[in-house]
Amino acid sequence: MILTAEELDSLVNIRHRSPHTLLGMHPLGDGSGVVVRAFLPDATAVEAVPVHEKGKPKIQLKRITGQGGDRRQTRDPYSFLPTLGETDLYLFGQGNERRIYDKLGAHLRTVDGVPGASFAVWAPNAQRISVVGDFNGWDGRFQPMRHLGPSGVWEIFIPGVREGALYKYEIKDAHGALVLKTDPYGFFFEPAPKNASIVWDNRKFSWSDEKWMKRRSERDPLRSPMSIYEVHLGSWRKKSVAESFSYRELAAPLIDYVRKMGFTHVEFLPLSEHAFYPSWGYQVTGFYSPTSRFGTPDDFQYLVNALHEEGIGVFVDWVPAHFPRDDWALARFDGTALYEHEDPRKGAHQDWGTLIFNYGRHEVDNFLTANALFWCDRYHMDGLRVDAVASMLYLDYSRKEGEWIPNQYGGRENLEAVEFLRKFNYLVHTEHPGVVTIAEESTAWPLVTRPPYLGGLGFLFKWNMGWMNDTLNYFRRDPVYRKYHQNDLTFAMLYHHHENFILPLSHDEVVHGKGSLRGRMPGDDWQAFANLRALLAYQWLFPGKKLLFMGGEFGQSNEWSANAQLDWWLLDTGPYHRGTQRLVEDLNKLYVAEPALWESDYDHDGFFWVDCSDHEGSVLSFMRQTKGAGSRLLVALNLTPVLRLRYRIGLPSGGFWREVLNSDSEIYGGSNQGNLGGVTAVSHQTHNQPFSAEFTLPPVSVTVFKLENRG
């Protein structure tokens, strides 16, 4: 026997870290010929058939299996060179292989004229890894992988594997335990509760959104309208109580609705694969796979493509802050803390029971940065909203004294996470011009939306959580007490120019016992809906881009549940719900049509308070204008249920100011008080303005006036 007893034992007991050096065809040491080896536990006979390709001998295995003598023929998987080169592995080790998703994971390929799939996985501390799947009886003895040296990558090409094949990695981990793991770079997964990875080609979809992609690359998002409809796909609409629509089935109704309502973008709660549905997608188990709950990767591409064809942008929540502890996914992947930190004071979230990525490890950094690029590349995402950024930035996030480890300078900042965020933002913005990145960051961390070369994190936008909390705190109060809290509405302008803000009324505000937006408004139905309309109008007219969670646009009464569709039936119950929906539709139309509401969101001359000192009356007024004041809109808020007649407000220009929106209109369910089309400004100095006019301010209302004819 040419093999030593030790070598044979290493094959039989699947211990050899490089089976390609023993299996397949190899020259004999004395030059007298070649030896062919195959380890096939289910074969009764094997015939080696030599073939020659490009002058090089290869081996095709012809084997007879089973008692019935059934035959099958295949190329030897141990006759192929590695599908990763030294440069790939070098860049991955540096954390700089930006398309590592083209190298690791499962990929359909034709190698030496033979179709099949290559598999590669990073697990430096594993003792042995095999690919197991429905193509080899889930038996780890058939396709053990080779270890590619110091890179920690294991690899094999398996002939004959086709799209749709199920697979996992059978890992003998650092401690000798045998575990089954899903592919960290898997492109598709079995529907939960199953969790096998699925071989899939996500490059075959025929995109037809070239016009959208070109316009996107030329557009300045800071000076463009952005009205975002936040959607949880599983509960927007459902087929039945238990069944959701697929990506393809949702495309037409979602597009029709978003277009009718006038939103410019949709933002999906996380769609990466997740095992636990009640996490709403925030506990990701498959970072490179759209969830199979709603269809295939092609189906999701179809949805995005259809939205783009109709001029609707697509954002998705991206979750690099943590991952769950499921033992079949990333956690302790090779028996060690590979993707996470070993020390729970750095590696475990107290609040969510999840694990924190080790951002300082090059391969982990590469896994995440490439994942961001992947969603822009393969799925044409227009924006990534990064969840829980504050939890990434602070080592003591939600921790008591002694439960965290300071950084090298003794501080609480997670310096590795900071560098990761800067790198991620730089790569996304340089490689995919026009794609926006959005931070959900709930603290006062400075320069979140400033470029890294200025010391910033590099995000383009940040959710204004302070505005959201202050505004909702104000509107939930009985109007009789609002005069003591007017600063809740004015405070946001004191810090507005520190960042590029989005104003969110998100899913976080309608869960965990908070109730719905409608349910938090004071008073009877009439007052509650008047307050809700005023809240939404204030959001749309205040500086900053807009985000509203689904259901808020028609005054959903109940707190949102991911297990049921929105209460669409409410639109047939009377004027209030349908009126609120009509208001949001008209707000979007006005917003998109008036550059004064978005062109200068972040310029100092794009906004000024006309008067915010009438605390007793709970009345505020402000001006929105384009650069150079070429177009101007006056916004007046009366936030008590008192009709105010002949209320004088200062104006910068004389002439006719047309009433272009009134949240108290009867078409919205209001009392229909107003200004009979508009007001004429006269030369009467008020509020430090040279002109003024007397307005009718309806109860609990927002009214908007546009200067049309200068006097």
pLDDT in tens, 132-160: 999 999 999 999 999 999 999 999 999 99
Q: Of 79, 105, 128, which marks where a domain is finished?
A: 79
Q: Is 155 a catalytic residue?
A: no
> Mean pLDDT across the stretch 655-674?
97
* CB-based burial, 12-42: b 16+ in 10 Å, e otherwise: eebebbebbebbbbeeeeeeeeeebbbbeee
Q: Give me the amino acid identity at 18.
A: S
> Mean pLDDT across the stretch 550-578?
96
Task: State residue 7's pLDDT score.
Answer: 82
- 61 pLDDT band, cuts 50/70/90, is low
Strand extents, DSSP E, 474-564: 501-505, 545-549
Residue 692 lies in a domain: yes
Place of tokens 């008067």: 611
Task: State residue 24's pLDDT score.
Answer: 81
Task: State residue 78's pLDDT score.
Answer: 86
Query: Tokens at residue 510, please?
Result: 């309608």
Q: How far apart (Å, rounded) are the C-alpha atoms in residues 129 and 145?
A: 6
> Mean pLDDT across the stretch 397-404?
91
Task: State residue 63's pLDDT score.
Answer: 58
Q: How far apart are the first and last CA of the chain?
A: 104
Residue 696 lies in a domain: yes
Q: Looking at the predicted structure, is the pLDDT value of residue 68 above 60? A: no
What is the count of structural domains for the chain?
A: 2
pLDDT in tens, 682-708: 999 999 999 999 999 999 999 999 998
- 4 pLDDT band, cuts 50/70/90, is confident
pTM for this model (two decimals)? 0.95
Strand extents, DSSP E, 506-663: 545-549, 607-614, 619-625, 632-638, 644-651, 655-662
**Nearest to 148, CA basis, from 5, 288, 20, 13:** 20
> Mean pLDDT across the stretch 443-465?
96
The answer to whether the beta carbons of residues 585 and 548 sit under 8 Å apart is no
> Mean pLDDT across the stretch 403-415?
95
Percent of the chain residues past pLDDT 90, beyond the cut: 86
The answer to whether the beta carbons of residues 566 and 556 sit under 8 Å apart is yes
Task: State residue 44's pLDDT score.
Answer: 77
Residue 137 lies in a domain: no
Q: Looking at the predicted structure, is the pLDDT value of residue 710 above 80? A: no
Q: How far apart (Å, rounded) are the C-alpha atoms in residues 384 and 185?
A: 19
- Kindly state the DSSP code that residue 294 receives in the 8-state scheme: G
Catalytic residue among 440, 488, 499, 599: 440
Q: Looking at the predicted structure, is the pLDDT value of residue 93 above 90? A: yes
In terms of pLDDT, which residue wins out, 698 or 40? 698
Residue 432 lies in a domain: no
Residue 702 lies in a domain: yes
Q: Please give the backbone phi and psi of residue 89, each rounded to the nearest 5 degrees, phi first.
A: -70, -35
Query: Tokens at residue 193, please?
Result: 């509760």
For 49, the domain range is: 5-79
Task: State residue 345's pLDDT score.
Answer: 92
Q: Of 79, 104, 131, which marks where a domain is finished?
A: 79
Q: Of 79, 107, 137, which marks where a domain is finished?
A: 79
pLDDT in tens, 309-356: 999 999 999 999 999 999 999 999 999 999 999 999 998 988 889 999
User: Hey, is 259 helix, strand or coil?
Assistant: helix
Task: State residue 65's pLDDT score.
Answer: 58
> Mean pLDDT across the stretch 68-89?
84
Task: State residue 54's pLDDT score.
Answer: 62
pLDDT in tens, 358-385: 999 999 999 999 999 999 999 999 999 9
Q: Is 440 a catalytic residue?
A: yes
Peptide bond into 193 cis (omega under 30): yes
Q: Looking at the predicted structure, is the pLDDT value of residue 50 above 80? A: no
Q: Looking at the predicted structure, is the pLDDT value of residue 71 above 80? A: no
Strands 632-638 and 644-651: unpaired
Q: Which of 19-23, 402-406, 638-642 shows the lowest per-residue confidence on average (mean pLDDT)?
A: 19-23
Residue 94 lies in a domain: no
Q: Which of 45-59, 263-277, 279-293, 330-344 shows the lowest per-residue confidence on average (mean pLDDT)?
A: 45-59
Q: Which residues pair with 117 in a beta bridge?
A: 108, 158
In terms of pLDDT, which residue wins out, 412 or 2? 412
Q: Looking at the predicted structure, is the pLDDT value of residue 67 above 60? A: no
Task: State residue 374's pLDDT score.
Answer: 98
Q: Looking at the predicted structure, is the pLDDT value of residue 42 above 80? A: no
Catalytic residue among 170, 267, 365, 387: 387
Q: Looking at the predicted structure, is the pLDDT value of residue 59 above 70? A: no
State the CATH number of the domain containing residue 678: 2.60.40.1180
Residue 521 lies in a domain: no
**Nearest to 255, CA basis, from 309, 174, 209:** 309
pLDDT in tens, 615-625: 999 999 999 99
Query: Tokens at residue 144, please?
Result: 């053990």
The answer to whether the beta carbons of residues 593 and 628 sit under 8 Å apart is no
User: Hey, is 353 helix, strand or coil?
Assistant: coil
- 57 pLDDT band, cuts 50/70/90, is low
Residue 658 lies in a domain: yes
Q: Which of 7-16, 373-382, 431-440 shows the lowest per-residue confidence on average (mean pLDDT)?
A: 7-16
Average pLDDT, the chain: 94
Query: Tokens at residue 602, please?
Result: 């972040």
> Mean pLDDT across the stretch 617-638?
96
Q: Looking at the predicted structure, is the pLDDT value of residue 72 above 80? A: no
> Mean pLDDT across the stretch 18-33?
80
Strands 678-681 and 655-662: antiparallel
